[in-house]
Amino acid sequence: MADKNNDFKKNPFSLQVDLSRFSPSQFDLATEEEKAQQEVMSESTTFFKDGMRRLKKNPLAMMSIVVLVLIVLACVVGPMVVPYGYEEMISVNGRRDKTAKNLMPFTWSKNEQKAIDEGQKLFPHILGTDEQCRDYFVRILYGTRVSLAVGLFASIIVLIIGLLYGSVAGYAGGRVDLIMMRIVDIIYSLPDMLMVILLSVIMKETLAPLIQNTVLAGLGVNMISLFLVFALLYWVSMARLVRGQILTIKENEYILAARSIGAKPARIIRQHIIPNCLSVIIISTALQVPSAIFTESFLSFLGMGVQAPMPSLGSLANAARSGLQSYPHKLVFPAVVICLIVLSFNLLGDGLRDAFDPKLRR
């Protein structure tokens, strides 16, 4: 019989600690406190706080938030400060001033100059005036308002329709999903700009008698048909996105776990599915805003957007086209504002995606 200790003889090439050199009394049991130290826990943060923290670290996203806030503030406060209306022609001493046409920024017309010399105080034309003697700065402020409103409303419409349609398709699955998604494919395959133009032309004709003498008439037929066009065409990518999200979330075991607990479908959608795809939806809505603004500007530029005298950034740019050689600044200003808005929303959307995508955790 070999010696019992021989079983534990250390192989000379082994890197293991030679336990035969120790006796059991040399070992201590770990105390509870020492065990607790093994459990390293990081500081608790909620998902939202964590995302905001990362968003704050992104200089581009923060800059776009600042730019957007400034633009919105200017749109809201500007028209209150500047004493001109967007459709008001400049008048001096109660009489229309026909000399105040196509003024350069910070200049006065002959009549205004006279009034100032007489001791009157007038508000400067910060960006000059247009060819119909209207203050250009105020028009740009109103145009920005319109463009932002169109962008936000269109995104909200897209969000609501896309969310409902996509979540029904995704949650129901099977045949329902198949049919609903084929409809989306058909809408998706239509050339969208052509459809937008055709639809807004047709809508204009059919809508005009319908909305006469209602509140909607104030908005203008063009605006309403624009919204309708967005509602009819642009929700498809949102619906696809939502459906895809729900399909992947549905596969997770925590949905099965909720079912095994006895949770009803409504509760599962409310408590588990929507919170888990919310960040993706918010982000793509933020990215939808610039695309809607862009489309609105494009349509207004073609003369199919908002109705004169209401300005929008696109129609202002369009109007500036005729006098491009003499007054290039009239095209530059609305173009710069469009660029700023679109760029800021895009950068903000990108920043949101980076901050809230759990897979990009840093």
Partner 1 sequence: MSSEYLVEVKDLKQYFPVSTGFMKKTSLKAVDGVSFSIRPGETLGLVGESGCGKTTVGRTILRLYQPTGGEVLFDGRKVTNSNITELRKEMQMVFQDPYSSLDPRMTVEDIIGEPLDVHKLYSTRAERREKILNLMELVGLNAEHARRYAHEFSGGQRQRIGIARALAVDPRFIICDEPVSALDVSIQAQVVNMFEDLQKQLGVAYLFIAHDLLIVRHISDRIAVMYLGKIVEIADADELNDNPQHPYTISLLSAVPIPDPKITRQRKRIILQGDVPSPMHMPTGCAFRSRCRYATEQCARECPSLADRGNGHMVACWNK
Helix (H, G, I), strand (E, B) or coil at 109: coil
Site residues (CB under 8 A) for partner 1, limited to 210-239: none
- Cα–Cα nearest to 147, from 284, 291, 283: 291
User: In the bound complex, what is the minimum distance in angstroms from residue 241's beta carbon to partner 1?
Assistant: 18
List residues bridging with 135 in a β-sheet: 129
Give the binding-site size for partner 1 (rule: CB under 8 A): 23
The answer to whether residue 261 forms part of the interface with partner 1 (CB under 8 A) is yes
Contacts of 281 by beta carbon, 8 Å cutoff, 6+ apart: 159, 163, 238, 241, 242, 245
Nearest approach, Cβ of 41 to partner 1 (angstroms)? 6
Helices (H) and strands (E) in the chain, counts: 15, 2
Among positions 33-62, residues that touch partner 1 (CB under 8 A) are 39, 41-42, 44, 46-47
Nearer to partner 1 by Cβ, of 274 and 340: the residue is 274
Of 300-329, which residues contact partner 1 (CB under 8 A)?
none
Tell the smallest beta-carbon distance from residue 44 to partner 1 (Å): 5
Residues numbered 264 to 283 that lie near partner 1 (CB under 8 A) are: 267, 271-272, 275-276
| Contact of 287 with 201, CB cutoff 8 Å | no
Q: Which two tokens stand for residue 105?
A: 């920024």
Alpha-carbon torsion angle 153, 154, 159, 161, nearest 10: 110
Helix (H, G, I), strand (E, B) or coil at 309: coil
Determine which residue in the list 156, 187, 219, 263 makes contact with partner 1, applying CB under 8 A: 263
Q: Does 256 bind partner 1 (CB under 8 A)?
A: yes
Phi-psi region at 213: left, alpha or beta (left = phi > 0; alpha = psi -120 to 50): left
Residue 24 is classified by DSSP as G
| Smallest distance from partner 1 to CB 46, Å | 7
Answer yes or no whether residue 8 interacts with partner 1 by CB under 8 A: no
Using CB under 8 A as the binding rule, whether residue 257 contacts partner 1 is answered as yes
Cα separations in angstroms, 10 against 19, 21, 22, 34, 346: 8, 10, 13, 30, 65
Residue 160 interacts with partner 1 (CB under 8 A)? no
- Give the range of 60-68, 90-98, 209-217, 260-268 binding partner 1 by CB under 8 A: 260-268
Interface with partner 1 (CB under 8 A), residue from 93, 212, 248, 252: 252
Q: How far is the CB of 76 from partner 1 (least distance, A)?
A: 35
Shortest CB 36 distance to partner 1, Å = 8
Residues 329-358 that bind partner 1 (CB under 8 A): 358
Q: What's the min distance (Å) between Cβ of 272 and partner 1?
A: 5
User: Does the footprint of partner 1 cover residue 31 (CB under 8 A)?
Assistant: no
> How far apart are CB 273 and partner 1 at their closest, in Å?
10
Closest to partner 1 by CB, 187 or 263: 263
| Angle, CA 203 vertex, CA 200 and CA 204 arms, to 5° | 85
- According to the binding rule CB under 8 A, does residue 1 interact with partner 1? no
- Region class of 95: left (phi > 0), else alpha (psi between -120 and 50), else beta: beta
Looking at residue 310, what DSSP letter applies? S
Give CA separation, 282 vs 5, 289, 296, 350, 362, in Å. 68, 11, 21, 11, 21
Where on the chain is the footprint of partner 1 (CB under 8 A)?
39, 41-42, 44, 46-47, 252-254, 256-263, 267, 271-272, 275-276, 358
